[in-house]
């Protein structure tokens, strides 16, 4: 067997070992969904950074920069700003009362089971969209490493993900994310100097890349409105995407959250900067790829030595898996806890709860690959699928979550109108709106407007709904 195959076998063995350990460490639903709410800053920050650093980074970001140039890199500035907002503004009130899921927060704050079911349904739909992007990347990697058809690779990676996530829940996700963050960091760190050596160092790269792509350092390849709204999408999505919010519940306290998020910011920025250099290198080394999403796999296989190339491909795999496992936790809990146990069968026995939880993850993990195999979502650039997901999450959850813990006047009718209207506006803009403006702008504005206006014309929320999040119910 080749070095690439051995590296991947070793990688998957570690992942399975963590899953087996996590099964033994998971004793309750609290353990299964939020790791007992006792994560420290290192594991909490590592899982947040790994969740953020998806195939959208290692495949999607490089793919867009390969096609459009350096201008896309400015959206990196929105990342620390969104995490600062999460820690400084949102988390202190949001974490006063810990829940198992984000829809459970919606029920507590907005005093109704219906709004919990609505939130869970939106999470399920949007998560299927996002997981498709990651599975597409996994299929490309499997094709590169093992020579199997992309569809076979998509099924294989999904199967591996489902095994350790279904078995170990959030405990498995946290520890595999920490391991995968190490793999991602090492992969990018090894790849950059070797790629630069192929192009005569950083100085040579800057000269050669302008020859290969004359507009690479200009803002002429993408409309300014598109870049600005992409940045807005990443900012708002970073503030209130459920897979990140649930990690605030998983960490012990606010001190831990602050330290963990700072660690996550440092790791995310470092990995992104390394990825940007690799994107420029790919423009020079492979100027005629049919799609930008092939740039990173080509760097790994054609530029790096076999073993290091395998580590780089493992890093891309880790990026994909660390995001999908987190999404599976969020979507699985939405299906099993928020919809089935909360709305359909509230009397399910404690003995059956864990089986229902695992079945929920299995169902939502299988659906995206089934859609891809049927041709739905195939052929899209990974990064643009990621952007659609962040737009949906921003439209659905930023006003109800952020507004819910900052504005006592917010009502369940306002929150429901914001979620439905925001998601609808996002989809309509994606289908019919101007391509030069990301749908997040329309979706968020509609959501915020409905949230405020409907809340003001409906009865005030009861005091018991405000008590967990406000010092005074006034």
The tens digit of pLDDT for each residue in 61-78 reads 777 788 777 787 777 778
Q: Comparing 235 with 141, which gets the higher pLDDT?
A: 235
The pLDDT assigned to 384 comes to 62
- Percent of the chain predicted with pLDDT > 90: 25
- pLDDT exceeds 70 at position 472: no
- pLDDT exceeds 50 at position 211: yes
- pLDDT exceeds 70 at position 378: no
Q: How many Å apart are CA 311 and CA 188, to the nearest integer?
A: 9
The tens digit of pLDDT for each residue in 292-324 reads 767 777 777 777 777 777 777 777 777 777 777
Q: What's the helix, strand, coil split of the chain in %, to 5?
A: 80, 0, 20
- pLDDT exceeds 90 at position 405: yes
* Residue 346, number of CB atoms within 10 A of its CB: 9
- pLDDT exceeds 60 at position 271: yes
DSSP labels for 195-225? HHHHTTHHHHHHHHHHHH-TTTTSS-SS-HH
- pLDDT exceeds 60 at position 147: yes
Q: Which of 241, 243, 242, 256 is nearest to 38 (CA)?
A: 256
The tens digit of pLDDT for each residue in 165-208 reads 887 788 888 888 888 888 888 888 888 888 888 888 888 888 88
Q: Which of 457, 443, 459, 419 is nearest to 103 (CA)?
A: 419
Mean pLDDT of 257-264: 94
* Residue 449, number of CB atoms within 10 A of its CB: 16
The dihedral sign for the CA sequence 148, 154, 159, 165: positive
pLDDT-based confidence at 455, cuts 50/70/90? very high
The tens digit of pLDDT for each residue in 333-374 reads 888 889 888 888 888 776 677 788 888 888 888 887 887 777
The fold of the 3-371 domain, in CATH, is Sodium/glucose cotransporter (1.20.1730)
- Over the chain, what is the mean pLDDT? 84
Q: Comparing 16 with 394, which gets the higher pLDDT?
A: 394
Q: How many Å apart are CA 303 and CA 294, to the nearest integer?
A: 13
Q: How many Å apart are CA 6 and CA 23, to the nearest integer?
A: 26
The pLDDT assigned to 474 comes to 45
Rounded to two decimals, the pTM is 0.84
Mean pLDDT of 34-52: 88
Break the chain into its structural domains and give their ranges: 3-371
CA 306 from chain centre, in angstroms, equals: 29
Q: Comparing 56 with 368, which gets the higher pLDDT?
A: 368
């Amino acid at each position: 067997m080749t070095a690439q195959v051995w590296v991947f076998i070793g990688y998957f063995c570690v992942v399975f070992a963590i899953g087996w350990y996590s099964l033994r460490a998971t004793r309750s639903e609290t353990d299964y969904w939020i790791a007992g709410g006792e994560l420290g800053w290192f594991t909490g920050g590592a899982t947040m950074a790994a969740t953020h650093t998806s195939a959208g980074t290692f495949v999607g970001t490089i793919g867009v920069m390969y096609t459009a140039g350096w201008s896309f890199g400015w959206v990196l500035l929105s990342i620390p700003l969104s995490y600062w907002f999460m820690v400084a503004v949102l988390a202190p009130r949001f974490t006063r009362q810990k829940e198992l899921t984000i829809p459970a927060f919606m029920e507590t704050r907005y005093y109704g089971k219906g709004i919990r079911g609505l939130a869970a349904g939106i999470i399920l739909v949007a998560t299927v969209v996002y997981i498709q992007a990651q599975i597409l990347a996994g299929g490309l990697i499997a094709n590169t490493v093992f020579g199997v058809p992309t569809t076979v690779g998509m099924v294989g990676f999904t199967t591996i993900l489902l095994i350790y996530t279904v078995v170990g829940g959030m405990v498995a996700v946290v520890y595999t994310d920490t391991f995968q963050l190490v793999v991602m960091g090492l992969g990018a760190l090894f790849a950059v100097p070797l790629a630069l050596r192929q192009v005569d160092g950083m100085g040579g790269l800057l000269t050669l890349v302008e020859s290969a792509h004359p507009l690479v350092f200009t803002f002429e390849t993408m409309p300014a409105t598109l870049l600005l709204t992409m940045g807005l999408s990443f900012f708002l999505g970073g503030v209130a995407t459920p897979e990140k919010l649930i990690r605030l519940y998983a960490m012990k306290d606010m001190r831990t959250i602050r330290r963990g998020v700072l660690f996550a910011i440092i790791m995310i920025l470092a990995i992104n900067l390394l990825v940007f250099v690799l994107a420029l290198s790919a423009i020079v080394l492979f100027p005629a790829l049919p799609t930008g999403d092939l740039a990173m796999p080509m760097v790994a296989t054609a530029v790096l030595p076999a073993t290091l190339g395998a580590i780089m491909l493992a890093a891309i795999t880790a990026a994909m898996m660390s995001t999908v496992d987190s999404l599976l936790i969020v979507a699985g809990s939405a299906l099993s806890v928020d919809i089935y146990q909360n709305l359909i069968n509230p009397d399910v026995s404690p003995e059956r709860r864990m089986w229902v939880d695992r079945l929920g993850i299995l169902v939502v993990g299988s659906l995206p690959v089934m859609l891809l195999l049927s041709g739905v979502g195939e052929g899209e650039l990974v990064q643009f699928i990621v952007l659609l997901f962040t737009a949906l999450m921003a439209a659905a959850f930023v006003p109800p979550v952020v507004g819910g813990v900052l504005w006592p006047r917010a009502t369940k009718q306002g929150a429901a109108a914001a979620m439905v209207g925001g998601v609808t506006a996002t989809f309509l803009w994606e289908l019919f709106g101007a391509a030069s403006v990301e749908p997040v702008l329309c979706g968020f504005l509609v959501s915020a407007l409905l949230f405020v206006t409907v809340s003001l014309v409906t009865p005030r929320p009861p005091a018991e709904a405000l008590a967990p999040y406000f010092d005074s119910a006034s």
